[in-house]
Structure 1
Amino acid sequence: MSSSKHILPFQLAILLLAIVSVSIGCGRTAQHPPESDHQIWRFAIEESEGSVQHVYATQFKRQIEAATSGGVEVVVYPYGTLGTSTQITEQLNLGALEFAMASPGSIGKFIPETQVFLLHFVLSNSDIVNQQILSSPEVLETFDTLYRDKGLKLLSIFPEGEMVWTTQKEVRSPKDFQGVKIRVMTSPMLIDAYAAYGASPTPLPYAEVYSALQLGMVDAQVNPIFAIERQKFFEVTEWLIFPGHAHFVTTVVANQEFYDNLSEEDQAIVDQTIADLNDYIFEQQVQFQSDRLKAIVREMQQKRAKLNICGDLSDFIESLSTQERQELIDDNPFLNITPALTPAERERFQQASKEARKTFLQIGGPKADEILSLIRQVKNRVLDNAAQVEPQSESRLPGPE
């Protein structure tokens, strides 16, 4: 790789690579002598065990090891094992890792165009539509070119679930956000988006969110439902709001040099495994959201604590058995469900979110406008062809403003 593709400054890059190579390489040499044909592929994720990314990486490991008859061993590193998300991306770029998850919040520092997936109302409020957008050849090829310029190989883009607000009060319009301190990731687009809604966006490390909510340092936060359940954010807020404004998106990435140097057979195995996992992880993440929401409702019921939910829960309710529905929904005095935001209410948020879109066009890299136009075109085409999406529940992404 040429030096222009290094994400880190040279001296820091060499030091980090040496540290990682020693810490990982020692165990590898002890188990598998250099003359062995046995390979170890290292896969780092941005989430903990039991997460959507962990499910993906674990299945990737199973399929790769089965397809290579044990010739390849995949070692999965949950979040925190090898550092922060940014450090994981740096290690991948340097070849200290073969594979990694890289979400826009972290890789956007190196490939600014990926921050398009942080914008609100750019993707659909339908899981199925988003899967088709993110797996479309045009989107993958365009982003693969951007990744390649950084010494990375883009393998897949997939959604991990709808972003949900946990708040201390019901929020149905931007005016309801007035004065609300909401924790957000450190992203100019997210800061601008929630400021445009009337809130006070407050960047905080993920590990500090629970205590900040508990102590009243912030009033709200936003995450997919599986993260809300795992981190217990529902314990220290009053409402779960499903506004249909955004989905959490991540990318599966390989080191480009490693990928290019694979044998034709191994490269085909990787490509087929990724193709198989596209449908697998979509089904898994949908089930994940249902299971984790069920766990939240059940836990609050057992604690005899009030749980308020604003959103369309029809799919969730249909996923329950007759007994579960009776127990958790119909006969649950601690659960209060209010209707989902109306199209008119969502439109108010969508109009306000345009300020963040302007920010993206300024800081989203030289191809920001091209990327936003591409997502718009693919989304509108998918919506036109998706009979399962009702027109009144989904907005087409407007043209240039």
Structure 2
Amino acid sequence: MKAYIIIIGDEILSGRTLDTNSNFIASELDKIGISTFKIVTIPDQVFQIKNQIKDAFASEANFIFTTGGLGPTKDDKTKQVITDFLNDTLVLHRPSLDYIKQIYYKNNRVMNPLTYNQAMVPSKSEVIINKYGTAPILWTLKDSKLLINLPGVPYETCGMLKEVIIPKIKNDFQLDYIIRESAIVIDIPESELAIKLENWENNLPEFISLAYLPSGSKIELRLTAIGKNKIYLQNSIQNEINKLNSLLGKNLIISQTTRIEEIIGNFLIKNNLTISVAESLTGGSISKKITSISGSSRYYKGGVTAYSKEAKKNVLMIKEEILKENNIVSETIAKEMAIHCSSLFNSDISISTTGVAGPNSDEFNNPVGLAFVGIYYKGDIVIKKYLFPNLTREEMIARITYKSLESLYFKFIDEENS
């Protein structure tokens, strides 16, 4: 089954307010087997709302959601448009009025005529009391489609959708299962990956779809299977994941999580290993990634942002003659940073980064986008050199952060296979 989501609000289109409702609604629907095929954002204008609802009912959608325009002010026009669309009239919904009165009474506020209007609803709609706000939710069946009108306030929409609307949909409709599995591909460009997987992709069963989701230097392959038999779908997805594994080898990460920092954390716990980080180029972003995982205190010993030459000397204790004799952005300094970081924190593993994020070159005239990553692993040291001249400063930091974790992952793979 499919959903059509209409976000109503001038404040969304002006950029003053971020639309989080559509993302949340689509995500929650996806969990119960309803795929969203269209999301539109429109202003608080009667003809726009009217035309969009007509388009939604003429589409392939089984479920039509709107957010916004249910409040008491003059710019809240959704309810009247719905009433006209249904050839209906507004009637007083006594339970809603009583509920609104209770809210005002508890907050020592006086109701006004506009507030009373909140309790006026189309007579053909089922009304759902909004326990997070005053605007009631409308649930309307028409032409074998379900129209659900939600408030625009995210707090209200998210709470009511999760606690009331989704359970009600599950109870009232027979839904397909949606099974999704993801695998992460690293160190293969998207165009090369598409060629490599062309034959496999062309032979996927009709009920399984594939999405390429690039993010920085990694690509998430998301497989989606839709159908009535849950076990069959799960087995079919697993069969395709097995084929991917044989095609991509160590470039494929198969895990319950797509976050490489979590995968690394699980490996460290499993093997009783500890890690520390010495960052120059990345400015603490690797440590931030590692410590974003709950329980990372079990393996993360600490980190230092040794941005200046003085910090490299006084904190990491790199010898002054080495710093004088070598370019700060170099293989030698990355190596020294990793070794001394491991010693400083007494960790089994350490990661170091040094480079030029731009937009300008450094005092040594190194090219913008040059970086070195050091991986110290139980006495062994590996240095990776990268050059990304066309990235912004923020993109460069994010790319090297991920490449650092990716390099460590490959080191783990090599260790397990040795």
- Specify the TM-score bucket, using the shorter chain as the normaliser: under 0.3
Larger radius of gyration: 2
The structure with more strand, counted as a fraction of residues: 2
TM-score by length of 1: 0.24
The structure with more helix, counted as a fraction of residues: 1
